[in-house]
C-alpha cells in the first residue's frame, strides 16, 4: 500500500532530521541492505559445513572407538544444520520465503488468492476453494 502525501512528507522530514542529527549513522543505515546480512550467514554456513566434513572424515579415519563415532555423528549433524541454515538464508536473500514472524498467523490465507492459489495447495485447499465458489454462485 503506497503512502499518502502527508505520510510521505512526514517520512522525508524524519529522514532529514536523522541526517542532520547523526550523518554517520544515517549513512550506515542507508547503505546496509539485508542481503549483505544473509550473504554473511551463507558464508558462515559454508565454513561450518567444511568443519563438519572435516570432523566426519576425522572420525572415520581415526580408530579410537566410541569417540570417533561421536565425532563423526557430530560432524554429520553440523553439516545438516549448516545446509539448512544456508538454504534458509538463501531463500530470505532472494525473497522466496519471508520470515514467519512477518506473516503472522494468517500468512497462508493472505498469500493464497482466488486466482490459482488453490492449485498450489493441497487437496483440502482445493476442496475449500470449490466450496467457496459454489457458495458464491448461490
| Closest among 31, 47, 34, 28 to 94, alpha carbons compared | 34
82 near 49, Cβ under 8 Å?
Answer: yes
pLDDT of residue 94: 84
Q: Which DSSP helix (H) or strand (E) runs through 112?
A: none
Beta-strand runs (E) in 3-133: none
Per residue in 25-67, pLDDT tens? 877 777 667 788 888 899 999 999 999 999 999 998 988 788 8
The CA distance from 104 to 33, in Å, is 23
**Residue 118 pLDDT level (bands cut at 50, 70, 90):** very low
pTM: 0.51
Neighbours of 49 (CB within 10 A): 19
Per residue in 77-117, pLDDT tens? 999 999 999 999 888 888 776 555 555 544 444 445 545 54
Place of cell 495447495: 121
pLDDT of residue 132: 85
The CA distance from 48 to 92, in Å, is 19
Q: Is 89 exposed, middle or buried (0-12, 13-18, 19+ CB in 10 A)?
A: buried
**Residue 120 pLDDT level (bands cut at 50, 70, 90):** low
Quote the crossing angle between the two packed helices 66-94 and 34-61, to the nearest 10°.
Answer: 160
Amino acid at each position: 500500500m503506497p503512502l499518502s502525501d502527508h505520510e510521505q512528507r512526514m517520512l522525508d522530514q524524519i529522514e532529514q532530521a536523522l541526517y542532520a542529527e547523526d550523518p554517520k549513522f544515517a549513512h550506515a543505515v542507508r547503505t546496509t541492505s539485508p542481503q549483505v546480512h544473509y550473504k554473511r550467514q551463507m558464508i558462515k554456513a559454508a565454513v561450518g559445513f567444511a568443519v563438519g566434513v572435516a570432523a566426519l572424515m576425522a572420525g572415520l579415519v581415526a580408530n579410537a572407538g566410541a569417540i570417533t563415532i561421536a565425532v563423526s555423528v557430530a560432524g554429520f549433524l553440523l553439516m545438516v544444520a549448516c545446509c539448512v541454515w544456508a538454504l534458509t538464508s538463501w531463500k530470505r536473500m532472494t525473497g522466496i520465503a519471508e520470515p514467519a514472524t512477518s506473516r503472522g498467523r494468517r500468512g497462508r490465507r493472505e498469500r493464497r488468492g482466488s486466482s490459482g492459489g488453490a492449485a498450489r495447495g493441497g487437496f483440502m485447499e482445493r476442496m475449500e476453494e470449490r466450496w467457496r465458489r459454489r457458495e458464491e454462485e448461490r
